[in-house]
């Protein structure tokens, strides 16, 4: 359906070989993971409804369609995870960091438009700005899958080190 949705092994090595979650408190990881799960539920809903999605129109009526609702919630919730990574000074590198850098500003503004009702009009430019990011869906898929992989790999590493609860 979309271009490559996962980082290649080389891209992943450049992004995560340094174990960016290694020194993060397990409770903080659990908070970030919970928010990632919420975002991922919306990603799956978006993917499941894509085939029946209303076509984007100039009037913005498509924005209430289930597919687009799920997409915007996925994007907004993913921003909360990225913001949490930023707030905790988690060092993302390589292609993962590149994707984060490309989507961050429009994603933050999208989140604001999604979670704060505009006092002006229904055609909030912040909702459309994110859609103009080159390959936004592919980037968001890669990013979502990559974040999930970070959590999974860190959990496995901590288990192997005997410090799952640390």
Coil, strand or helix: which one is 83?
helix
- pLDDT computed for residue 63 by the predictor: 73
- pLDDT computed for residue 51 by the predictor: 80
Query: With a cut of 70, which residues of the chain have pLDDT below it?
Result: 1-4, 54, 56-62, 166
Q: Give me the phi and psi of 51, to 5 degrees please.
A: -65, -20
Rg of the chain's alpha carbons, rounded to an integer? 17
- pLDDT computed for residue 120 by the predictor: 72
pTM for the model: 0.89
- pLDDT computed for residue 139 by the predictor: 94
- pLDDT computed for residue 166 by the predictor: 66
Cβ atoms of residues 15 and 142 within 8 Å:
no
Report the length, in residues, of the chain: 166
Cβ atoms of residues 122 and 58 within 8 Å:
no
Q: What is the DSSP letter of 4?
A: -
- pLDDT computed for residue 127 by the predictor: 84
- The residue extents of the domains of the chain are 23-161
Name the packing angle between helices 94-115 and 9-16 (round to 10°).
Answer: 80
Alpha-carbon distance of 26 to 15, in angstroms, equals 21
- pLDDT computed for residue 163 by the predictor: 81
- pLDDT computed for residue 66 by the predictor: 83
């Amino acid at each position: 359906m979309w271009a490559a949705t996962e980082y290649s092994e080389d891209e992943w090595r450049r992004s995560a070989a340094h174990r960016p979650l290694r020194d993060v408190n397990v409770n903080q990881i659990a908070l970030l993971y919970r928010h990632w799960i919420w975002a991922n539920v919306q990603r799956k809903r978006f993917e499941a409804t894509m085939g029946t999605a209303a076509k984007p129109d100039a009037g913005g009526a498509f924005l209430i369609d289930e597919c687009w609702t799920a997409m915007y919630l996925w994007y907004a919730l993913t921003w909360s995870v990225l913001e949490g990574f930023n707030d905790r000074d988690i060092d993302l590198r390589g292609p993962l960091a590149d994707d984060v850098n490309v989507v961050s500003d429009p994603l933050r503004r999208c989140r604001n438009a999604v979670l704060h009702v505009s006092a002006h009009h229904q055609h909030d430019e912040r909702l459309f700005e994110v859609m103009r990011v080159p390959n936004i869906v592919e980037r968001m898929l890669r990013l979502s899958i990559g974040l999930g992989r970070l959590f999974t790999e860190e959990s496995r590493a901590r288990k192997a080190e005997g410090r799952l609860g640390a």
